[in-house]
Amino acid sequence: MSNLPQISEAEFEVMKIVWKHAPISTNEITDKLLQTTSWSPKTIQTLIKRLVNKDALTYEKQSRMFVYTPVVKESEYIGQESNSFLERYYDGDITAMLSAYIENDRLSETDIEHLRSLLSKRPKKGGN
């Protein structure tokens, strides 16, 4: 899916629940979000409807319940948002982003070691 819908921060909270627990009913989504937010059940239902209208969620009616599944894959959405963030704040320069994170102590030694490990396993391009 190349044109992923724009999802607000609140809608993203709903999506995280659906990605983790799909297929999931309206009541289950509401119960889970009531534990972590101060939103009313009506607000949560509105967010779910918006996500359906944006084609981020689909639903199936099972007797008197609506059961939701994601149309948008979590990995696709996160990847799109990461690229958008990188373009918006660092002009697409991942080295600048990582430098800023390191300089501002946003990466732990464990994070840095993990990045080193990932980079050392990566095949070289262009025979360099």
Higher pLDDT, 46 or 104: 46
Q: What percent of the chain has pLDDT over 90?
A: 50
Domain boundaries, the chain: 9-70, 74-121
CATH 1.10.4040.10 fits 74-121, yes or no: yes
C-alpha–C-alpha distance, residues 55 and 70, integer Å: 9
pLDDT tens digits for range 64-93 = 999 999 998 998 888 887 777 777 777 878
C-alpha–C-alpha distance, residues 58 and 43, integer Å: 18
Per-residue buried b or exposed e for 87-101, using 16+ beta carbons within 10 Å of the residue's own CB: eeeeeeeeeebbeee
Count, residues in the chain: 128
| Mean pLDDT, residues 29-34 taken together | 98
The arrangement of secondary structure in 9-70, i.e. its CATH architecture, is Orthogonal Bundle (1.10)
Higher pLDDT, 13 or 127: 13
